[in-house]
Amino acid sequence: DARVTQTPRDKVTEMGQEVTMRCQPILGHNTVFWYRQTMMQGLELLAYFRNRAPLDDSGMPKDRFSAEMPDATLATLKIQPSEPRDSAVYFCASGLVTGDYQETQYFGPGTRLLVL
């Protein structure tokens, strides 16, 4: 049963520190999404990639957030410097484009981030 994996599962850090979250999409999937979940805002799309190319990062604060796909098996989301308001659960999801359609997205277990 293939699954999206994320590391770390939990991260506690101090304000101003750099945070890097990693995601391994399901093997063969060519689209990767980053979402953020908070009580107030719910689930929000931050950025997504297709075939490792960034397609949309309009949901992401550009001054401190960056997302990359160094290779097809790894996506990263970086926050530098981190702030308390970044505290949330960050989910990665992957999917597959076949023909003209994006197939179902499968979510990873999430990284629970707490910035003190």
Partner 1 sequence: GENVEQHPSTLSVQEGDSAVIKCTYSDSASNYFPWYKQELGKRPQLIIDIRSNVGEKKDQRIAVTLNKTAKHFSLHITETQPEDSAVYFCAASNLEYSGGGADGLTFGKGTHLIIQP
Residues that bind partner 1 (CB under 8 A): 31, 33, 35, 42-45, 48, 50, 55-56, 59, 91, 97, 100-102, 104-110
Smallest gap from Cβ 100 to partner 1, in A, equals 5
Task: Pick between residue 12 and residue 43 the one whose CB is nearest to partner 1.
Answer: 43
- Neighbouring CB atoms inside 10 A of 56's CB total 13
Task: Pick between residue 25 and residue 108 the one whose CB is nearest to partner 1.
Answer: 108
Smallest gap from Cβ 18 to partner 1, in A, equals 25
Q: What is the C-alpha to C-alpha distance for residues 13 and 111, in angstroms, rounded to an integer?
A: 13
Q: What is the C-alpha to C-alpha distance for residues 74 and 84, in angstroms, rounded to an integer?
A: 26
Task: Pick between residue 8 and residue 16 the one whose CB is nearest to partner 1.
Answer: 8
Smallest gap from Cβ 105 to partner 1, in A, equals 7
Smallest gap from Cβ 44 to partner 1, in A, equals 8
Q: Rounded to the nearest 5°, which phi and psi values hold at 86?
A: -80, -10
| DSSP helix/strand/coil, 85 | helix
Task: Pick between residue 14 and residue 66 the one whose CB is nearest to partner 1.
Answer: 66
